[in-house]
Amino acid sequence: MAVARGRKWQRDIDEGKVRDIKELTEILQLDHSYVSRILRLAHLAPPLIERVINGTIPENLCISRVRNTISNNWDDQLQEFRVEA
């Protein structure tokens, strides 16, 4: 659910429906840090998203890890979470 939410919010920003994260947080009436964490999920590598959808989430992929900045580079993500492409 959080991945889908992050992807939708990112799409809203990309399509200009909202200017930026600040405007998004105001519209949603949510904390900026929460929205930022969820938006990070929009940048997960497709194989990681597939694992989330299939319910086979890597053991070391948890929301607390995503709270920290993770690489936007998909190859780095796959290596970090030990997932094959």
pLDDT at 46: 92
Rounded mean pLDDT of 58-64? 72
Average pLDDT, the chain: 88
Give domain limits for the chain. Answer: 1-43, 45-85
Q: How confident is the model at residue 66 (pLDDT cuts 50, 70, 90)?
A: low
For residues 47-58, b (16+ Cβ closer than 10 Å) or e, as one string? bbbebbeeeeeb
| Token pair listed for 39 | 């938006």
Q: Is the pLDDT of residue 49 over 90?
A: no
